[in-house]
Amino acid sequence: MALALENFCTISRLEMEERRMNAAAMFRRGASQAEVARVLGVTRTSASRWHSAFQAGKDMKLRKAPGRPCRLSGEQLRSLYSLWETRSKWTDAQFAEAVRIETGVKYDPDHVGRIVRRLGLRQTRGYHRETPREAA
């Protein structure tokens, strides 16, 4: 199954802030929301939100993101997607160990499902959650 990389390779916070600042500059020059959305490659909803903030004189810089940022780069996530495809079934513990070996980043088996969901794989591949009986 081919998965569009945009689904799990997000741009950095710095790039997002730069895009918003570019939108503010375009609005100052009189660009329409549709033009900003098209040029910057964002949805019209985002351009509309940014325009409202710009008109209200709000700071266009990004706020601190909630939660902990992902410890894996886009390239590492791409490699994990390919790795996932090599087997028909994974347990949480198996995939957590594979993530550690492949990337050097240790994830607890209870949290590795976040990576699986981010890659969009839980619904499309055999995913087996190990029961306590199986672990013994």
pLDDT tens-digit series, residues 47-61: 999 999 888 888 777
pLDDT grade for 67, boundaries at 50, 70 and 90: low
> pLDDT tens across 73-100, in order?
888 888 888 888 888 788 889 999 999 9
Q: Please state the rounded mean pLDDT for residues 110-126.
A: 72
**Contact present, 68 and 83 (Cβ < 8 Å):** no
pLDDT of residue 134: 61
pLDDT of residue 111: 85
Angle between helix axes 33-40 and 13-28 (nearest 10 degrees) is 140
Tokens 């794989």 found at: 121
pLDDT of residue 23: 92
Q: Please state the rounded mean pLDDT for residues 106-118.
A: 85
**Contact present, 7 and 17 (Cβ < 8 Å):** no
pLDDT of residue 130: 59
Query: Where does the chain have alpha helices with state H?
Result: 13-28, 33-40, 44-55, 74-84, 92-103, 113-118, 132-135
Own/partner long-range contacts of 48-53 (Cβ < 8 Å, ≥24 apart): 50/20, 50/23, 50/24, 51/23, 51/27
pLDDT of residue 97: 94
What whole-number distance in Å separates Cα of residue 66 and Cα of residue 113? 19
Average pLDDT, the chain: 79
The full set of domain ranges for the chain reads 10-55, 74-135
What whole-number distance in Å separates Cα of residue 72 and Cα of residue 104? 10
pLDDT grade for 129, boundaries at 50, 70 and 90: low
